[in-house]
Amino acid sequence: MAKKGLVLLPIPAAGHLKAMVETALKLLHHHSDVLSVTVLLMNSIPGVSLAPNHHTYIHSITSSGFDIHFEELPLIDPPHSDEKDGSPASISLYIQKLLPHINASLSNILSSTPSTTLIVDFFASTVVDEAKKLGISTYVFFTSGAAMLALVLYGPVLFDKKKSMEVFELPGMDEPIPYLSLPTSFTMTNSASFSWFLYHGRRFLETKGMIINTFTALESQVIKALEDGLYVHGSPTPPIYPIGPVISLQNPSNEEKEQHETIKWLDGQDPGSVVFLCFGSMGTFTVSQVKEIAHGVERSGHRFLWSLRMTGLPVPSNALLDEVLPEKFLERTRDRGLVWPATVHQTEILAHRAVGGFVSHCGWNSILESLWFGVPMLSWPLYAEQHFNAYRMVKSHGLAVELRVDRKDGGFVSGEEVENGVRVLMGDSEEVKKVKERCGQMKVESRRAVEEGGSSFVSLQRLAGSF
């Protein structure tokens, strides 16, 4: 029997490419006799940080033995210099410029595999119309949580009827959402990014289904509200496929003989004694904020592992520690801290028994990884939908301790607040005991969801059956 084709179109950012590829691997694991996967690969988008180990990762997948291969799209210049900032609108414009190449690849695949399905990254939903013209069924892959998808779909209703912007109420969410916890784009309703979300939310509705990297035990009410069509007026909501948590646990460094230095350092620490600070692929701070963090972790008295990178173009650069940290900080904290001036292998660190807490920017993948390993978070949202994710984790789910981030003051956090936050996270107050207990439960639930018969497993099989 001829195999069916599945084409993926992810953007190359860490939490996008890997989440989509790992989903395809899960599908292949059960349907390798009937499915062949092609990933249309963008090796660069201006303003978007590639996944750490991007090329090693792709190589490891190519040699996995599964019927999955990568077809590289050409590198092109962005249309204008102001469209390189990595915002949804700029990514879309870039992908629009790639459309002739994407079309050519899709047509080529169709000529050999007439039964082909496309899964597009939600940032690439501009391709939905083109695929329709070619007669290809398309699904959208949403790399953040169901609540964020709900907000995107409900946006037009919400912002039409709401005149006062203090708090918002969304079906499927018990607590009203304060204006200051909205995603950055939603706080600037005259921005290109806000328009992008409203417009592309409508495009998602024209797909055959919406695949979300989440799981029922985490977001049951919102998933149910999505399925019931409560966020969309005037047209049906396509089927919802919560298939997460999809986490890339492959560690390219395992192929190397030496353990990474961060892991060797963790090996020498007591169980649960280390607080880990890491802020995703683009999270950076000003030098003065770096100094506040340093003072905070130092005064907290706790052991720490800190992945520190600085603002750089086109993506963050490795930190020059002597230039940005307070004088003699490294000397004073040598016995109890390690500052790593580059990206780290986050899942391997979160899996380590020495790690007892995670100061996170609340990117969706970091949240899922933290829950997978049952590590409690201290939320430090920076941009995109991270404030919304942080609010949901702290207030709706009790899975994180809140760091007070003054969004009105550009998100600055004092050293004192960092110190208090780390003390609470690593302490044994009643508040943190409850958070730890909830995280322990979510560790179990997240694993159960993807096991045979679990909610996400069933959802993924339902998805495969719909191709």
Ligand X SMILES: O=c1ccn([C@@H]2O[C@H](COP(=O)(O)OP(=O)(O)O[C@H]3O[C@H](CO)[C@@H](O)[C@H](O)[C@H]3O)[C@@H](O)[C@H]2O)c(=O)[nH]1
Binding residues for ligand X, rule: CB under 6 A, are 13-15, 52, 143-144, 278, 280-282, 307, 343-347, 363-366, 369, 384-386
Chain centroid to CA 75: 24
To the query of whether residue 397 is one of the catalytic residues in this protein, the response is no
Q: H-helix or E-strand containing 306?
A: strand 303-307
What is the per-residue DSSP string for 179-201? GGGS-GGGG-TTSHHHHHHHHHH
Contacts by 253-258 with C-beta closer than 8 Å and gap 24+? Answer: 253/345, 253/348, 255/56, 255/60
Is 90 or 365 the residue whose CB approaches ligand X more closely? 365
Is 116 or 343 the residue whose CB approaches ligand X more closely? 343
Q: Please identify which residue in the block is written with the tokens 């107050």.
A: 429
End-to-end CA distance of the chain: 15
Both structure tokens of 372: 């997978």
In the bound complex, what is the minimum distance in angstroms from residue 374's beta carbon to ligand X? 16
Active-site pick, 16, 31, 54, 387: 16
In the bound complex, what is the minimum distance in angstroms from residue 331's beta carbon to ligand X? 25
Q: Is the peptide bond before 314 cis (omega within 30 degrees of 0)?
A: yes
Active-site pick, 31, 54, 121, 200: 121
To the query of whether residue 121 is one of the catalytic residues in this protein, the response is yes
In the bound complex, what is the minimum distance in angstroms from residue 401's beta carbon to ligand X? 18
In 3D space, the residue among 43, 55, 56, 52 whose CA is nearest the CA of residue 11 turns out to be 43
Both structure tokens of 284: 């950076």
What are the start-end ranges of the E strands in 151-243? 167-168, 177-178, 209-212, 240-242
In the bound complex, what is the minimum distance in angstroms from residue 31's beta carbon to ligand X? 25
Is 109 or 403 the residue whose CB approaches ligand X more closely? 403
Contact present, 153 and 233 (Cβ < 8 Å): no
In the bound complex, what is the minimum distance in angstroms from residue 147's beta carbon to ligand X? 12
In the bound complex, what is the minimum distance in angstroms from residue 107's beta carbon to ligand X? 29
Tell me the residue type at 182: L
CA distance 238 to 182: 25
Both structure tokens of 165: 């912007």
In the bound complex, what is the minimum distance in angstroms from residue 396's beta carbon to ligand X? 16
Is 144 or 185 the residue whose CB approaches ligand X more closely? 144
HEC-encoded secondary structure of 75-117:
CCCCCCHHHCCCCHHHHHHHHHHHHHHHHHHHHHHHHHCCCEE
Is 48 or 354 the residue whose CB approaches ligand X more closely? 48
Q: Looking at the DSSP assignment, which residues form a beta bridge with residue 121?
A: 141
In the bound complex, what is the minimum distance in angstroms from residue 466's beta carbon to ligand X? 24
Which alpha helices (DSSP H) does 259-345 contain, by range? 261-267, 287-300, 321-324, 329-333
What is the per-residue DSSP string for 6-58? EEEE--SBHHHHHHHHHHHHHHHHHHTTTEEEEEEE-S--TT-PBPTTHHHHH
**CA 233, 211, 6 angle in degrees (round to 5)?**
125
Is 35 or 45 the residue whose CB approaches ligand X more closely? 45
Is 79 or 314 the residue whose CB approaches ligand X more closely? 314
Is 369 or 402 the residue whose CB approaches ligand X more closely? 369
Q: Which residues are catalytic?
A: 16, 121
